[in-house]
Amino acid sequence: MKVAVTGSSGLIGSALVEALEGDGHQVTRLVRGKPAGPHELGWAPAAGVIDAAGLEGHDAVVHLAGVGIGDHRWTAEHKATVLESRVQGTSLLASTLAGLNRPPAVLASASAVGFYGDRGAQTLTEADGSGTGFLADVVRQWEDAAAPAENAGIRVARLRSGVVLTDKGGALDKQLLPFKMGLGGRVGSGEQYLSWISLDDEIGAIRHVLATESIRGPVNLTAPAPVTNAEFTRALGTVLGRPTVLPVPKLALHTMFGKEMVAEMLFAGQRVLPAVLQASGFAFVDDEIEAALRRILGK
């Protein structure tokens, strides 16, 4: 296949490109700035600029680009940037693909389990509706922005990813140092659910979605066994051989990240199951948290 990928330099994107090329596919990267060669296309979502002609004839497009949600404090300016980077980029890409003479068969567009909001211990699948809060609002608008491609007959899969676990970056990598120092602990009550997926399964699931014509609409990219924050904390402490008895002080978190971000990203949770992936026959490499952490961390 000939596959175009946005966000190709990110944690997930770079791993996906490597995997697709390893499978023998031809990958075209959409990049901001001047393309460096024949396998790159330029685009500037904020300016509404994209190389439409260069996208002609691609079999599939994977859209992963967007400003990191947890990279900065949630100031009004940063929240606007988070929303705009997702909606503008997705809308531009979807509208462009819809207008091509030779559009792709499938658009796999990034999304997130934040769609469901804080739902406590409720088990959630793709059949459940959106929750409330900033993250849920962002994801809902993000997903809606792909509608032009869907309306043009392109198969659109909305990839609702959980927390992607890898030692190469992201949430797990940030926690390793304090846990190794014996400073790791549950957040709050620890009862909030974490819907996680290993990086290998995230990449495998995206490849599966591209290859499976029956998959369209929302698809949860999460392991089949979500865990509470307390369970995750115990598992990581066990794998690293370190104590995890001290809870993380809420005041310190509020000081570092602000109350709204802490409330939605650390004290809220979703218990999400990958119903679509499982029904379509996807086989997970990592389906249990402690074993997954041992494999990821070489323990």
Q: How confident is the model at residue 266 (pLDDT cuts 50, 70, 90)?
A: confident
Q: In the chain, what are the domains?
A: 2-162+198-222+272-285 (3.40.50.720)
82, pLDDT greater than 80: yes
- Percent residues over pLDDT 70 in the chain: 100
Residues ≥6 apart with Cβ < 8 Å to 192: 118, 228, 229, 266, 267, 268, 269
Q: Which residues of 190-226 are buried (b: 16+ CB within 10 A; e: fewer)?
A: bebbbbbbbbbbbbbbbbbbbebeebbebbbbbbbeb
Q: What is the pLDDT of residue 160?
A: 98
Q: What is the pLDDT of residue 84?
A: 94
Position with higher pLDDT, 174 vs 218? 218
Tell me the pLDDT tens digit for each residue of 16-75. Answer: 999 999 999 999 999 998 898 889 999 999 999 999 999 999 999 999 998 888 777 888
